[in-house]
Structure 1
Amino acid sequence: MPAPADLRARNLWRPLGWGTIAAMIAAPAVAMRFTSEVHWGPEDFGFAIVLLGGVGLAFELVVRRSDRAAYRAGAAVALAAALLTLWANAAVGIVGSEENDINMAFNLVPALALLAAAVARLRAAPMAYAMLFAAGAQLALGLAMQFAGHGVWPFTLALTATWLASVWLFRRAAR
C-alpha cells in the first residue's frame, strides 16, 4: 500500500495533466475572441479533443501499468513524440503544407509504435525494442524523404532522438 504522501502526490498529477489538456483545447477558443489570426472550426476542436484526450488516456493506462518512474517517463516521452508528429503534420505539414499527401507517411511512425507497443504488451523490456523500432522507422522515413528531395532533417533528428530517449528509459525500467 502506497504511503499517504505518495497518494497525495499522485492525486495532484492527474488534475494537473487533465487541466493542461483542457487548457490546450480551450486556448484557441479564447484566442479566437481576441484575434482574427486563429480560425478553429468544430473539426479542429474535435481533432484536438481526440488527439490530446487519447494521449491522456494512454498515459493513464501507463500509470496504472507500472509504478516505476523510468517506465512512466519512457511512455511519456514516446507519447510526446507521437503527439508532436501527429499535431505538426495536421497543423502545418512536415513536407510543404498539411495538404501534401506525402505527409501521411509520417503518421505511420506513431501507428507503428502503437502496434509495436501492443505486441510488447506494454512490458518494459519489449517496449524498449518497440520504441527502437519506431526510432528506426523515423530515421528510415527521414532518409527516404531526403532522397526524394524533401529536407526534413531537423524534424527527423529531433523525433528520432525522442524515440531513442524513450528506448533508454524503458531499458532502465526493465532493470
Structure 2
Amino acid sequence: MNTEQPLSKNLLYLAAGTAAILLIPFTAMQFTSEVVWTLSDFIFAAVLILGTGSTYLFVTRKSGTTAYRIAVGLALGTGFFLIWSNLAVGIIGSEDNPINLWYFGVIAIGIIGAFISGFKADGMVITLSAAAMAQALISFVAIFGGYYQSPPSSVIEILGVNGFFVTLWLVSALTFRYAAQKETENHPPE
C-alpha cells in the first residue's frame, strides 16, 4: 500500500508554505522601516524557496531510504542558506565584495556534480566533498589574497562562517555515504 502523497499535492503544500514564509517580511514591512523588500526581493525569494523545495520533492520522490532524503535535504538546505546569506549580507565583507561571487562556484559544483552522478548517493559523496573543499579554498584565497580587508571582515569571521558551511557540506556527504551503504546492504551487487 502506497501512503505517499501525490507530487501535485506536495507542490501545492510547498507553494502555500512559500507564501506563508513570504508573509513574514511583508508583514514586518507594515510595522517597521528596518525591513525593506522590493518586488524583486519577493520574486527572488519565492523562486529560491520554490526551487529548493521542488528540487527536494523531485529528487527524493523515488528514494526509499530516509538517510538519502535527509542527505538531500542537508545539501539543498546548505546551498539555500549559502545563496541567501551571500546575497543578503555577503560572506566576506558586504554583498558587494567581488570575492563573494566565487561562492556561486560552490553551488555550481553541487549542481553539476549531482547531474553527473545521476543523483546517486556514491556520486553525491564526491560532489559534496568537492563543494566543501571549494568552500574552504575560497576562505584561504580571501585571507591570503587580502580580499577580506575591503570591506573589512576579520580572519576569524571568515574562518568561522566558511568553516560552518564546510561542516554542513561534509555532514551531507557523510549522510550520503551512509545512505549508499544502506542501499548496498538492501540491494547487494550480484
Normalising by structure 1, report the TM-score.
0.88
* Inter-CA distance 41–154: structure 2 relative to 1 (3 Å threshold): same
| Whole-Å separation in 1 of the counterparts to 2:36 and 2:135 | 31
Amino acid at match of 1:37: E
- Shifted more, 157-166 versus 59-68: the winner is 59-68
SS of the residue 1:39 aligns to: coil
| Whole-Å separation in 2 of the counterparts to 1:137 and 1:95 | 15
Q: Which runs of 5+ in 2 are unaligned?
A: 149-154, 182-190
Give the total of aligned pairs. 171
User: What is the aligned-residue identity percentage?
Assistant: 34
Is 1:166 the counterpart of 2:139 in the alignment?
no
Corresponding residue of 1:72: 69
Is 1:153 the counterpart of 2:175 in the alignment?
no
| Whole-Å separation in 1 of the counterparts to 2:62 and 2:110 | 18
* Inter-CA distance 92–26: structure 2 relative to 1 (3 Å threshold): same
Corresponding residue of 1:126: 123
Hey, which of these two has a bigger chunk of helix by percent? Answer: 1
Could you report, residue by residue, the CA deviation over 1:42-69 in whole angstroms, capped at 9, with x for unpaired residues? 1101110111111011101122131211
Corresponding residue of 2:41: 44
Normalising by structure 2, report the TM-score.
0.82
SS of the residue 1:130 aligns to: helix
Decide whether the 8 Å contact of 2:99 with 2:142 is kept in 1: no
Cα root mean square deviation, aligned: 2.1
Amino acid at match of 2:161: F
SS of the residue 2:61 aligns to: helix
Corresponding residue of 2:90: 93
| Whole-Å separation in 2 of the counterparts to 1:17 and 1:165 | 25
C-alpha deviation, 1:107, in angstroms: 1.6
Q: Which runs of 5+ in 1 are unaligned?
A: none
